[in-house]
Each structure stands twice: as structure tokens, then as C-alpha cells.
Amino acid sequence: MDRRKFLEKSSHIAGGALLAASLPFKLSGMTPLPPGKLENKKVLFVWGGWSGHEPEKCRDIFVPWLRESGAEIIVSDTLDSYLDKEMMTTRDLIIQVWTMGSISSEQSNGLLDAVRSGAGLAGWHGGLGDSFRENTEYQFMVGGQWVAHPGGVISYVVNITDREDPLTEGLDDFSMHSEQYYMHVDPNVKVLATTTFDNRHAGWIDGCVVPVAWKKYYGDGRVFYSSLGHVAADFEVPEALGIMKRGIIWASESRYGMKENWIKPVY
Ligand SMILES: [Zn+2]
């Protein structure tokens, strides 16, 4: 079925909502989100931490979408949720929006154990990639840690480096006006998009290429990260929102999808 026919069919089946949800991706050349994947998925959405990253506003972008998509979602503003063993063992997916702050070893173990045992994990920007700076095992799980955003909020380009992976298939390079995250990244993650730094704010990193979005495993759990989403308005960029939604869907399939194998050492 071609794209236009799919959209027409979708609008017949689900009314305007699905069509409207697909529109940003049509504009950006992105294929529609795979329907039905979040149906009945058990999701824990934990938000908090540094308020400059607008965790509450971001919650209000993603939680309604998850609900509309049929996910069974628990929304929590405390890391103590990670202590609830019974609840954690039933999660298909954990989304965390928690910049900086600290996590106790009990809370941290609750999260790490759940992902190692097969729960997916997804998040963006500092909410997943700059959460608990003292916790190296947490960083081992995420696969990267924010270290700088030279120049603060600037204009930069995101390059799609993997055009075959379903998460970034059909996407073109796009521009952001936000923080360009310079990250320390596990060299064994599967990188989907990158950004190249210039000499405007830190001359020695001119030409440096840093991952923007990646997928990986921690134990049996799928982990997806995107550095886009400094503030809620960043998700008005259709590609930034689309990559994140696709990453969330992919991570939510952690217990059901095939284990992917794409470790390709480059050195
Ligand atoms: Zn930020």
C-alpha cells in the first residue's frame, strides 16, 4: 500500500486523530508511526529533576500520546517508584525525564534490575543522558553522558547516519535551534543520527562528530536515547518528536521483539 492510500485508509478506520498524528511525518518525509505497537503496553513514566528542562511540559506531550495509543501508563514524580519490585517486574517500558539530582543505590538497583531483566528504557536530552552524574552503572546502561553544550542555545544540523534502521528510515537531515549536546558515548551503541560541531564556541572541537540518537541493550532491555529535547518546544520540530516516538515504540517491544545484533567494533 502506498503512503497516501495508507493515510486515507487510516483516516477511515480511526477518524481524524490518526491522520492528524501522521501529518507532521508527512511534512517531514517520515513514514507514519507503526500503529498498535503501544496497545496494552505497561509503561512507567517518571518525571522530575531540574525544572529548566520542563519535565512537566514534556510529560504533557508524551503521556497523552501514550494513553491514546493504548498504553497502560503509571505516571510518577518520584524515583521511589523504582523501589516497587512487583510493579517494576511487570513494566514493558520505562520512560525517565529526570535531569541531574541523585539516586539512592536501592532506587538505582530497582531501575537497573528491571532493564537488565527485559524492560525497555527510553528518554531524551538531560532527562536520561544527564541524570545521576555520580552513578557510573546508570551511565553504562544509558550508553552516554552529557558533558557540554558549547554556546548554549544555537542553530545546528542533525544528520541521519542510518537510513535503513526503522527508527530513522525515510528521514532527511534537519535543523535544530537548541542545545547541541556534546556527549561521552559508549562506542558500541548503534548510532542513528549525529551532529557535527564547528569552531564557534570551542575551537578545538571544530569538525567533531557526536551521536544524537542511538539504540543499545542493557542486559535484555532495549535502551533508546535522543539528545533532542532541551525544552518542550524542541518537540515542535517534527523530526525530533518523530525520532523520540519511534524510539519509545522500539524500546516498548523489548520483551517481544527479536534481539537485534549490530555490535560493529570500529577499532
Ligand atoms: Zn538542556
Is 228 part of any domain?
A: yes
Listed in sequence order, the residues at least 6 apart from 54 whose beta carbon sits closer than 8 Å to its beta carbon are 231, 232
Ligand 1 centroid vs 203 CA: distance in angstroms? 21
Is 259 part of any domain?
A: no
Ligand 1 centroid vs 195 CA: distance in angstroms? 16
pLDDT single digits (tens) 55-78: 999 999 999 999 999 999 999 999
Is 18 part of any domain?
A: no
Ligand 1 centroid vs 230 CA: distance in angstroms? 4
% of the chain with per-residue pLDDT over 70:
88
Is 95 part of any domain?
A: yes
Distance (Å) of CA 233 to CA 5, 27, 47, 201:
31, 18, 17, 24
pLDDT band at 31 (very low <50, low <70, confident <90, very high): confident
pLDDT single digits (tens) 148-159: 999 999 999 999
- Number of domains making up the chain: 1
Is 8 part of any domain?
A: no
Ligand 1 centroid vs 125 CA: distance in angstroms? 7
Domain interval for residue 127: 33-252
Is 202 part of any domain?
A: yes
110: alpha, beta or left, given left = phi > 0 and alpha = psi -120 to 50? alpha
Q: What is the CATH number of the domain that holds 88?
A: 3.40.50.880
Ligand 1 centroid vs 208 CA: distance in angstroms? 20
Ligand 1 centroid vs 212 CA: distance in angstroms? 13
Is 246 part of any domain?
A: yes
Ligand 1 centroid vs 141 CA: distance in angstroms? 21
Is 230 part of any domain?
A: yes
pLDDT for residue 133 is more than 70: yes
